[in-house]
Amino acid sequence: MQSTMQDVPLTLGFLLRHGLANFGKSKVVTCTGEGTRETTFREVGEQAAQLANGLAGMGIRDGDRVATFQWNNAEHLVSYLAIPGMGAVLHTLNVRLFTEQLVYVANHAEDRVIIVDGSIVALLAKALPEMKTVEHVLVHGGDGAELQGMGPTISRYEDVVGSQPTTFDWRTDLDERSAAAMCYTSGTTGNPKGVVYSHRSVYLHSMAACMGSAFGVGEQDRVLPVVPMFHANAWGLAYAAWMAGADMIMPDRYLQAEYLCPLMTNERPTIVAGVPTVWSAVLRYAVENNVDVSFLRTVICGGSAVPLSLMKGFQEQLGVRVVQAWGMTETSPLAAIAHAPAGVTGEEEWTYRARTGRVFAGVECRIVDDAGAELPADGEAVGEFEVRGPWVTASYYQGDDPERFSDDGWLRTGDVGTLDDMGFMQITDRSKDVIKSGGEWISSVDLENTLMDAEGVLEAAVIAVPDDRWSERPLAAVVREAGSQITAEQLRDKLSAHLARWQLPERWTFIDEVPKTSVGKFDKKVLRKQYADGDLDVQELAPPPS
């Protein structure tokens, strides 16, 4: 029996029209470094129509890739809406990629047009000559003189877009399964791989982000995504905010705590989102400078494991709730959120909130062993997480890396850990970061979290290094807080209260900063190379007294 329901495709044109029709007065505030500039959803919608008309005039048609090389600002939101809304495909380029990787992804995606922020034209200039399919570059806020003569036509954004009509017949007729946007994984191993989101997947993911059991985004909210719009679509927050009519506070390129804190004080966001390194800097700055951020309802934190000390620091020193979430570019990204179960309070609540996340509606999760056999969800068995769902990718663009998908169509996440019978995931490692010592796994996430809990420690990353006897052993790379003299012995003592003796690292190094990836995560690949090249000053402790 068929239903009687209307078969309206879930498109971004449909989403765009909703925000425009109902929340025209909602605001988009962009940081300028010295202050802010403000616009409304109505104006953003009009500018999106102008951009769509401009792109259509340049010959952009359904399915053509239009790339953005932009910060989190009102103009990037215009691109987010206009490009898929007209039937083209939004490709967000990561402005922090190395030149070769930028060239690789633009060629792989076959971008026809790039919209670039005037402040980063010089970065694009290094890559543009090698980008084979780009025909046109639109420079927002600048003339792009540095780009002239490289092949593509270079225009001022305002010249192409500024005088276009402010209405557009947004495409609500598209096949909801057609491509709306694409994003490349940041390529911590090998070349970046492309994930192509459909209109349907983005629409459903936006609804999920708005759910009370996720972030509960509503019109009363003001959403500040610190996570870049080129990193897994700013975790879906731009579309979720547009859908819900929530104001958006955009940090532009001003991502340091000394900008974020005043921006927050002035604009009073309720929901903010970013990776742990951003929030630990904000916590330090806010405490040192007595900044009141109690208006924040939720700090969404993910992208890498969130140290308990960071969550408790926010709660106890700033009165603000940090919520850990888990996901990947491949999962749109939201797949799990660590809200404690109903009725759980006090210390027990922390044991849930410190976990990686609880799988939420729309995503299914299982753990499997090395041979792909499913393991019990008993909170004990350790295996690789596999996920599936309507906003989880079924393949990479152009069929890259097919072995990342199981025979029955689940995504192999490359994350390893436990799953319990309430859907709580605990990641112990990424599979490429696991430390296998004498046949047993040592969790780098556990070691790092315990170390970052210690007084005097700013950052800590633990990597596996070769060992003659145990095959691999952990090496702890620690960044001390300014003025701290904490020693490796003291840190090992601290660890010994939480971990088994054989899990305690004997190799230690104190460094100035943990190397970071283009999206601000610890880059263990670089640390491993520094170790292999003998660039780290490693201290080896004698075994602890038993």
Query: Residue 34 is encoded by which pair of tokens?
Result: 């010295």
Stretch that binds ligand ADP, among 29-37, 62-70, 203-211, 325-333 (CB under 6 A): 325-333
The nearest distance, CB 404 to ligand ADP, in angstroms, is 11
Backbone phi, psi, residue 353, to 5°:
-65, -25
**Which residue, 215 or 510, has its beta carbon nearer to ligand ADP?**
215
Q: How many CA atoms lie within 13 A of 370 on its CB side?
A: 1
Rounded to an integer, what distance in angstroms lies between the CA atom of residue 198 and that of residue 10? Answer: 9
359 pairs with which residues across the strands?
Answer: 336
Q: How far is the CB of 539 from ligand ADP (least distance, A)?
A: 28
Q: Is 270 in the site for ligand ADP (CB under 6 A)?
A: no
Residues 6 or more apart in contact with residue 522 via CB below 8 angstroms: 304, 459, 461, 514, 515, 516
C-beta separation of 366 from 338 below 8 A: no
Return the residues of window 226-245 that contact ligand ADP according to CB under 6 A. Answer: 232
Q: Cβ 99 to ligand ADP, closest distance in Å?
A: 18
Active-site hit among 176, 330, 384, 386: 330
Instruction: Decide: 276 and 448 in contact? Cβ < 8 Å.
Output: no
Q: Rounded to an integer, what is the distance from CA 466 to the centroid of its chain?
A: 31
Given the rule CB under 6 A, which of 106-114, 121-129, 183-191, 458-466 is the region that contacts ligand ADP? 183-191
Q: Positive or negative CA dihedral for 118, 261, 349, 495?
A: positive
Told to check if 524 binds ligand ADP by CB under 6 A, we report no
Size of the site for ligand ADP (CB under 6 A): 21
How many CB atoms lie under 10 A from the CB of residue 401?
14
Nearer to ligand ADP by C-beta: 180 or 325? 325
| Token duo for residue 355 | 């976990």
Binder among 329, 332, 393, 426 for ligand ADP (CB under 6 A): 329
Nearest to 435 by CA among 462, 464, 414: 464
410 classed as catalytic: no
Question: Could you say which of 125, 128, 427, 464 contacts ligand ADP (CB under 6 A)?
Answer: 427
DSSP class of residue 333?
S
Q: With CA atoms as reference, report the closest residue to 337 among 374, 363, 369.
A: 363
- Is residue 185 near ligand ADP by the rule CB under 6 A? yes
> Per the omega criterion (within 30 degrees of 0), is the bond before 333 cis?
yes
517 among known catalytic residues: no
Residue 265 bears catalytic tag: no
Q: Which letter, b or e, does each residue of 187-214 get, where b requires 16 or more Cβ atoms within 10 Å of its Cβ?
A: bbeeebbbbbbbbbbbbbbbbbbbbeeb
415 binds ligand ADP (CB under 6 A): yes
Which of 238, 248, 305, 491 is close enough to bind ligand ADP by CB under 6 A? 305
Which one of residues 366, 521, 524, 536 is an interface residue with ligand ADP (CB under 6 A)? 521
Cβ count near 76 (within 10 Å) = 26
Query: Applying CB under 6 A, does 413 fall inside the site for ligand ADP?
Result: yes
Could you identify the residue written with the tokens 């916590």? Answer: 283
- Catalytic-role residue among 99, 364, 441, 487: 441
The answer to the question of residue 13 lying near ligand ADP (CB under 6 A) is no
304 binds ligand ADP per the rule CB under 6 A = yes
Name the minimum Å distance from CB 386 to ligand ADP.
12
Shortest reach from residue 170's CB to ligand ADP, in Å: 29
Q: Which residue of the set 126, 312, 436, 525 is catalytic?
A: 436
Active site residue 441: yes
Minimum CB separation of residue 91 from ligand ADP in Å reads 16
Interface residue with ligand ADP, options 328, 365, 435, 457 (CB under 6 A): 328
**Which of the residues 68, 92, 185, 418 is marked catalytic?**
185
Nearest Cα residue to 296 out of 264, 274, 323, 251: 264
**Residue ranges in contact with ligand ADP by CB under 6 A:** 185-186, 188, 232, 302-306, 324, 326, 328-329, 356, 413-415, 427, 430, 519, 521
Task: Write out the catalytic residue numbers.
Answer: 185, 330, 436, 441
